[in-house]
Structure 1
Amino acid sequence: MTTSREQLGDFSSIVCLKSIIVGMEDALGEKATAISLIAAGRARGKKLAAELGLVNSAVSLEDATSKVAHALGKDGTRLLVLDKIERDGGTIKVYTQETICSAGEPQGSERKCTFTLGAVWGALEAILSKRLQGKHTESVLRGGTHDVFEFTQLG
């Protein structure tokens, strides 16, 4: 039997989550925190893809995008708004808005998305059954219209 939060449910404040991230950065350093949060996000993304029945399925990238967007968006966990996923040659680009990482940050902040990048990364790896390398390439904090994550296949 698992313990549930009968009054508060599954969600908590973005303020608390950001405090956890900043506290980890203070204790572990930015690089170790980023590695840890990306790994945690990837694990979450893979689990999400499995929960949505997207692993080893013949679903199109468009259909997978719709399901992931719903699960992570305003009707799901509210991690982000996922606008689109597109292939650009050998690169997959994921366009997001309202990410946890940009919330409350001043314009010009150098903050990168870590857990959010990892969650999208893990979901894509599970959906595509391929190992990927990911990076955060554009940010709403630095003039972009979206937080963009780019993925390329390894090996």
Structure 2
Amino acid sequence: MLQLRDGDNLSCRATLRLEEVFTLDDPTDTLRAVWKVKEQLRVVLRTGSLEDAAEARKVLEELVKAAARPETNRLYRTVCRWWKEIEVLIITGATTGKVEANNTAIKNIKRTARGYRNAANYKSVILLRSAVRTAA
């Protein structure tokens, strides 16, 4: 679980535990290499300019080559394939997070409202719950 957390937000104790895991449980240093790739991808997506992103992408490429794992290679190919979209994210900061959250909320309403036979009532429940979420 430590490997999934943000490297920036690890406590001193968690950092020591992570180092212990890398040292004792990973004699080939594969886990450390893959973790560095994950952290560098976070750096790429967090950058504020295209120049910084390009520089971070180069570092990511070097870390992927050093890791030499099929998973990290596939991840890097995906980043390259989606690079134009990642640039848009970096420039605008726009994501589809709100739309995805609304879709999830509607699916949850649908799951709990199996008994609705009237489409107008179903639509009203969705709109009312959405209004309550935005008002709070």
* TM-score after normalising by structure 1: 0.27
Q: Which has the higher helix share?
A: 2
Which structure has the greater CA radius of gyration?
2
* TM-score after normalising by structure 2: 0.30
